[in-house]
Amino acid sequence: MIESAPRASGAPHTNHKLDAAGELLRKVGGDSTDRVVISPADDKRVLRKIDLVLIPLMLSVYFLQQLDKATLAYSSVFGLITDTGLVGDQYSWLGSIVYLAQLVAQPLVAWLLVKLPMGKFSSTMVLFWGITLSSMAAAHNFGGLLAARFFLGAFEASIAPAFVAITQIWWKRREQTVRVASWYAMNGVTNMFGSLITYGLGHITNGSLHSYQIIFMFFGLITVAFSIVMFLFMPDSPVEAKFLNDHDKIIAIERLRANNMGVMSREWRNDHLKEALLDIKTWCWFCLMLSISIPSGGISTFGPLIVQSFQFSSFETILLNIPFGFVQLVATMGGALVAMKIKRKGPVIAGLCVPPIVGCVMLMVIRHDGTHKGPLLVGYYLISVYPGISPLIYSWGSQNTAGDTKRKVVNAIFFIGQSVGNVVGPQLYTTAEKPGYARGLRSNLSLFIVIIVLVAFTTAYLTLLNKRHAKRRVEMGKSGVVYDNSLDSVDEIEKRRQAAGNTDAGDAETGDKAFLNLTDLENEDFVFVY
C-alpha cells in the first residue's frame, strides 16, 4: 500500500535543486516533501528484492578482492620469496604498494563515483584487476611483481568506496551497518576458504609453473569471469534499477527519507568538497581508519609468516588460517549486530579493541618456539578480532555524512587513511625480526589503545553537533527535539505511527529536506548517530 502523506505543518519549501530521487518523487507526487506512507509488508518486500540482487554481487566481488590481495600472503609460504629472489624489505613493499596505488587513486575515484554510473564503473574495475592478477604469473622478479601489484591496487581502489556509496543509497541507516559488515566479512571467509583453496592449489605439480603462479592465474581468471556477471546485474541507483518497477522504485526511495542523506545527483559540488575538508569529523574518520589499518596491513601481509614462526610447516600454516578467518567472520557480523541492536557504534568499536590488545601482549611476552604453539595461536586468534572494527568505522562515518559530493569526498578520505595505514603497516614488520616481530606488535598494541581514545572524542563531537542542530531548529521556529526513525526497524516505526494516529510531525520534520542534496551540516534536521 502506498499513499501520500502531507508535509509537516510549517515545513519550509526550499529552492535547492533536487537530486535524482527527489525528481522522481516530484514527478509522481508533485512535491519531494510530500512523503509516501509505506506499509510494513511493502517495505519488507522491496527490501528483500534489494538484498537478493545487490548482496550476492557485493559479497562475491569483495570476496574476490580480498582473495586476490591475499594471494601474496598465501604465495609467500609456497616459495614466492625464494623463487623470485626477494631480499631485505622487498616482500614488505609488495604488500605496501597495493595500498600506495589506492592512495594515489582515491581523489580520482571520488570524482568518478559522482559523475559515472556506479554499477558499470565498478564492474569495469573488477575486469581490469582480474586481468592484472592473472598477469602476475608472468612476473619473475621484484620489479615485475611490484609493477603488477601497483596496477592491482589502482584498479581495486574503487571497490570499497563504491560499496560504501552503494550501501548509502540503497539501505536505511539501521540496515547499513549489517550490510557493510556482510561484505566486509568476506575477509574472514577469504581466510577460511581461500586457505583451503590455496592448500589444494599448492599441491598441484607442474613442471613449467610454480605453485604461486597457478594461484595467481586461478584467482585472476575467476575474477575476470565474474566481472561480466557484475556488469549485467549491478544497478547504478534505485532510480535506474531494472529489477524494480516504477511502483517499487518509489518505495525504495521513500524508505531512505529518514536518512536525510539523499541518493545521487551526478553533479560535482565544490562547496561540498570544501565542507568535507573543513569538517572536523571527516578527520576523526580518517584518524580512526588510519589507526586500524596500520595493524591490518601488517597482520594481513605477515600473518602466515607469524604463524609459521610458531614452528609450523607451510601447509599447517595455511590450514591454521581457517580458524583465523572464522574469528574474523564472527567478530565482524557479531559487532555489527550488536551495534544495530543498541543503536550505537562507538562502544562496540572500543569493545572490539580489547581482544587484540590482549593478543598483542601475549605474542610479545610468550616465547616463539615449538613448546608454546597453543598459547601463541590463542594470542594470534585474539588479534584476529580486529577486522570487526573497520566496517563499523565505515558505517559510522557514512551514516553521519550527507550530500552526494560530500559523501564521496569523505569516503575518499576514509580510504586514503586506510591506504596510508596499509602502506605503513607491512613496513613495521620485517622478515629480519622473525620470529618475535616485536616492533610490529608494539605499534599495533599502541594503536588499538589510540582507537579507544578517538572513539571517545568522536562521540563527544557528534553530541555537540546534535545540540547545535537542535538550537538552529528552535531559532527557525521548529521543534528542537526531533525523532530519527532511520535506526528503527519497520515494526518499531509502524507501532509508533499507529500510536500517534498515523501522523508523526517529528518524522516528517526530519525528512522534508532529504532529497535536496544538502550536507549534514547544512540540513538542521539531520540527526547525527553515535
Domains of the chain (ranges; CATH) run 41-466 (1.20.1250.20)
530 residues of the chain, pLDDT tens digit each? 445 444 444 444 444 666 666 666 666 655 555 667 788 899 999 999 999 999 999 999 999 888 776 777 767 767 788 888 888 778 778 877 888 898 899 999 999 999 999 999 999 999 999 999 999 888 888 899 899 999 999 999 999 999 999 999 999 999 999 999 999 998 888 777 776 777 677 677 666 777 778 888 888 999 999 999 999 999 999 988 999 998 899 899 888 888 888 787 888 999 999 999 999 999 999 999 999 999 987 887 677 778 878 878 777 776 787 788 888 899 999 999 999 999 999 999 999 999 999 999 999 999 887 788 889 899 999 999 999 999 999 999 999 999 999 999 999 999 999 988 888 887 888 777 777 788 989 999 999 999 999 999 999 999 999 999 999 999 998 888 888 888 888 888 888 777 766 544 444 446 678 788 899 999 999 999 99
Question: Which ranges constitute the DSSP H helices of 428-504?
Answer: 438-475, 490-499
**Rounded to an integer, what distance in angstroms lies between the CA atom of residue 334 and that of residue 342?**
12
Task: Residue 258: count other Cβ atoms within 10 Å of its Cβ.
Answer: 23
CB-CB contact of 37 with 65 (8 Å): no
CB-CB contact of 413 with 100 (8 Å): no
DSSP 3: E
Which contiguous run of DSSP H or E holds residue 38?
strand 35-38
| Inter-CA distances, 346 with 163, 183, 349, 359, 521, Å | 22, 20, 5, 21, 21
pTM across the whole model = 0.86
Find the distance separating the first CA and the last CA of the chain, reported in whole Å.
Answer: 33
